[in-house]
Structure 1
Amino acid sequence: MKSNNTGLWKIALVALISAFIGVGLGFWGFSHWGGLANSNTSTNTAPVNGKAGTTQVSNVTVKSNNQMTTAFKKVKGSVVSVINYQRQQQDDDSLGALFGSIYGNGDDNSNSSDKNNNKLQESSEGSGLIYSKQNGNAYIVTNNHVVAGSEKLEVILSDGSKIAAKKVGTDSLTDLAVLSVAANKIHDVAAFGNSDAVTPGESVIAIGSPLGSKYATSVTAGIISAKNRTIDTTDEKTGQVTGQATVLQTDTAINPGNSGGPLVNAAGQVIGINSMKLASSTDGTSVEGMGFAIPSNEVVKIINQLVQNGKIQRPQLGIKVIDLDQVSSKQQRTVLKLPENVNEGVLVGSVNANSVARQSGLRKYDVIVALDNKKVKNVADLHTQLYSHNVGDNIKLQFYRDGKEQTINVKLTKTD
């Protein structure tokens, strides 16, 4: 009996100890995790108790160092603002002009007015990217429309310093330009990535100066929306469509002033130069998140030629042309004598003397309908197909003259 009692006491003691340990661990675990939860909550919520007017900033900090912040750090020092200066003429209805017209040129203020008319003023701002340092010069790529019409150029570096810049070369067709500055103040240079390797959905950032240098080195984020988008290029003076360009589409915010700045991938490589955004469709519908960048592979090809030659040498025919649809249907039949089934093409308005077109037999009022058996529907088609060839290439032009289709061979020469 005693032995049995002893056994029962042992069992009871073990059970009691086990229960105590279990409760203790459970209590500690609850207290521990609950304490952590309460600690986190207390750092992220306002205190419920305490004296009013004693709110403090939390001592918990978040350090984010993801791929895109690292990419931004790699490139930001090489992004600049580009300032375009031009001469601004005063309006004729100014008081000075009014009094001058009444009292003649004897007014002592007339000379100062002339001086003001000749003063260079800031006309516009854009962005640019330092991509190379060689032989004491640093080279900057930007858009042609950023520097168009400039009589003086300056760039603002990422540290805020302003230095003079010179045009090395420009190309209106691709909307690219290269500037040079003294390299002694340049510390950061960006690297180009392979734009052919980008994929839709890939994360990218755009860096630049939206609305001018006041917002310099602004960064916006998005993705690649599409590769190989084809958009029309237009003549800056006439507004006529002159060709087509293949670009990257992105939903990254691109605003006025971002033009010429880089589109950057997660590795910190520049995969495009931001050029434009689409704000509305042809029917006036407002759109968002449709920006376009010139692919880096195209950029590198163009800027190397601009540095070497100061311009892009493209093949030319030596003709002036307009879209056939600008000619009335009646004139297409009576003057050009085109068949009923021919309603697309390019009308030759004039042929330059000593041009390859004239040497090959092309004449005024010929209607070009194909180049190397590829249809030419308009001027954009003609330029796109022509510029896909090199100087010295032989091409075949199909055209109509007096209602009959003809073909000639042309050996391309370079532009002047």
Structure 2
Amino acid sequence: MKDKNNINQILKTILISFVSGMLGGLLVIYVVGYRPNNTSINKYESPKLVYDQSKHAGLMTGAFNMVKDSVVSVINLQKTRKNNLFTDIFGSKNDKDTLQTYSEGSGVIYYKNLNYAYIATNNHVVADSDQLQVILSDGRKIAAQKVGTDPETDLAVLKVNSKYINQVAKFASSKNLVPGQPVIAVGSPLGSQYATSVTQGIISAKSRVVNVVNEQGQVTNEATVIQTDAAINPGNSGGPLVNEQGQVIGINSMKLSRSGDGTAIEGMGFAIPSDEVVNILNQLVKNGKIVRPKLGIRVLDVTDLTRKDKKRIHLPNNIQEGVAVFSVDSGSSAAKAGIKAKDVIVQIDNDKIDSVASLHSKLYKHKIGDKITIKVIRAGKYVTVKAILQ
């Protein structure tokens, strides 16, 4: 009887375990989910590639396609001589200068005829070159010649054989640009290995006045430029800033995109407006240089004068800005107008003159033969004279 009870107890235990196992299994299936064919819940499933429906959706993609084959890399080659101690002392008939890549920039082809195609770029890209080459969008490298350069606006024109050129960019007026308008910058950032790179941004300001600095770090002029947040890196200089219609509205300049101490400014790129670009390019093609009017004076910013200097020229204490004249060329526009040494120029026509840069900027907007009205301070008094620019 006792054995029978033990057997019943064992069977009851087995039955309870079986039922508990079944219920547990059903619960796992309910929580985790049913996996047919014994598929492991940890098995990796490869993602599937679907058709990219957005690749043609970008408006600026079409704009890029309209200019990409007109954008080139510009290579500045300069001579270097391989010397050693022996040749330094005695010289050698076999000494030869070798051409090496000094720097690279960008350019845009804007015109072609039966013989030549013309390329707009920056002056600092081609400055001091002994030879120039351009790399076309298809990778072909061809020789280029300087047509003309203008350090004041940082613009230059090159020409190449037109038989290799398939696309020419078109300029649009920069007068009607508006902040927030989308743009792309095209060029070769960091060199030709990144040729025809494109960055996108907006116009941050249509008429930003920035200082133009020469190689010695001196401010020589003021430039009115387009400000953009499209990335403009070393090598982008000379490339086009392009609107959504694929038209060139400016020429990018890395030189203008640096602060006074030479450091690049993040998110602030500058381009020379197309209206000014076209005007300068036409003059460079015609004359090879830009002939600008001048007064024929030697000047200094009032801010650079010492207290003793100001006292010597009888400059009132309340005059903190202007341009001090320290010499006048004989027979010059200034001499004929009656401007004298120790005069301080404070106004031309209706525009305030507060620095040498603003003086240059105002003069460069005029042509030779134009008449201007100049207001100066002479011995503490205001004097107005009229000059004909030469």
Q: TM-score, normalised by structure 1?
A: 0.77
Distance 2:340 2:185 in 1: 48
The equivalent of 1:352 in structure 2 is 329
1:180 Cα deviation from its structure 2 partner: 0.7
Q: Which of 331, 337, 347 is the aligned partner of 2:309?
A: 331
The equivalent of 1:158 in structure 2 is 137
The equivalent of 2:299 in structure 1 is 321
Q: Which of 259, 266, 270 is the aligned partner of 1:292?
A: 270
1:340 Cα deviation from its structure 2 partner: 2.1
Counting only pairs closer than 5 Å after superposition, residues 123-202 of structure 1 correspond to structure 2 as: 123-202=102-181
The one-letter code of the counterpart of 2:301 is D
CA contact (8 A) 1:255 1:277 kept: no
Deviation readout 1:353-411 (Å, 9 max, x if unpaired): 33221222223332212212432111012112222222211112222334443222110
Deviation readout 1:135-164 (Å, 9 max, x if unpaired): 411000001111111121111100111111
The equivalent of 1:11 in structure 2 is none
1:287 Cα deviation from its structure 2 partner: 4.8
The one-letter code of the counterpart of 1:81 is S
Distance 1:290 1:60 in 2: 36
Distance 1:56 1:329 in 2: 76
The equivalent of 2:68 in structure 1 is 76
Which structure 1 segments of 5+ residues have no match?
A: 1-46
CA contact (8 A) 1:129 1:142 kept: yes
Task: Verify: 1:386 aligned to 2:363, yes or no.
Answer: yes
Task: Verify: 1:114 aligned to 2:92, yes or no.
Answer: no
The equivalent of 1:35 in structure 2 is none
Identity of aligned residues (%): 55
CA contact (8 A) 1:318 1:355 kept: yes
Q: Which of 55, 67, 92 is the aligned partner of 1:64?
A: 55
The equivalent of 2:186 in structure 1 is 207
Q: Judging changes above 3 Å, is the alpha-carbon distance between structure 1 residues 352 and 184 closer, same or farther for their aligned structure 2 residues?
A: same
The equivalent of 1:14 in structure 2 is none
Q: Judging changes above 3 Å, is the alpha-carbon distance between structure 1 residues 280 and 157 closer, same or farther for their aligned structure 2 residues?
A: closer
Q: Secondary structure at the match of 1:191?
A: coil
CA contact (8 A) 2:237 2:255 kept: no
- Note the aligned Cα RMSD (angstroms): 2.7
Distance 1:311 1:287 in 2: 31
Q: Judging changes above 3 Å, is the alpha-carbon distance between structure 1 residues 50 and 113 closer, same or farther for their aligned structure 2 residues?
A: farther
Distance 1:376 1:326 in 2: 15
The equivalent of 1:30 in structure 2 is none
1:230 Cα deviation from its structure 2 partner: 1.1
Deviation readout 1:30-58 (Å, 9 max, x if unpaired): xxxxxxxxxxxxxxxxx988998x95863
Distance 2:239 2:262 in 1: 27
1:194 Cα deviation from its structure 2 partner: 2.2
The one-letter code of the counterpart of 1:82 is V
Q: Which of 247, 272, 280 is the aligned partner of 2:250?
A: 272
Distance 1:177 1:283 in 2: 25
Q: Which of 379, 382, 389 is the aligned partner of 1:405?
A: 382
The one-letter code of the counterpart of 1:405 is Y
Distance 2:113 2:121 in 1: 18
1:282 Cα deviation from its structure 2 partner: 6.6
The equivalent of 1:243 in structure 2 is 221
Deviation readout 1:14-42 (Å, 9 max, x if unpaired): xxxxxxxxxxxxxxxxxxxxxxxxxxxxx
Q: Which of 270, 290, 300 is the aligned partner of 1:312?
A: 290
Deviation readout 1:257-314 (Å, 9 max, x if unpaired): 0000011111111111111377776799985211111111111111111112212222
Tell me whether 363-372 or 172-181 shows the greater mean CA deviation. 363-372
The alignment covers a number of residue pairs equal to: 351
Q: Judging changes above 3 Å, is the alpha-carbon distance between structure 1 residues 277 and 200 closer, same or farther for their aligned structure 2 residues?
A: farther
Q: Judging changes above 3 Å, is the alpha-carbon distance between structure 1 residues 135 and 283 closer, same or farther for their aligned structure 2 residues?
A: closer
Distance 1:411 1:354 in 2: 12
The one-letter code of the counterpart of 1:294 is I
Distance 1:201 1:233 in 2: 25
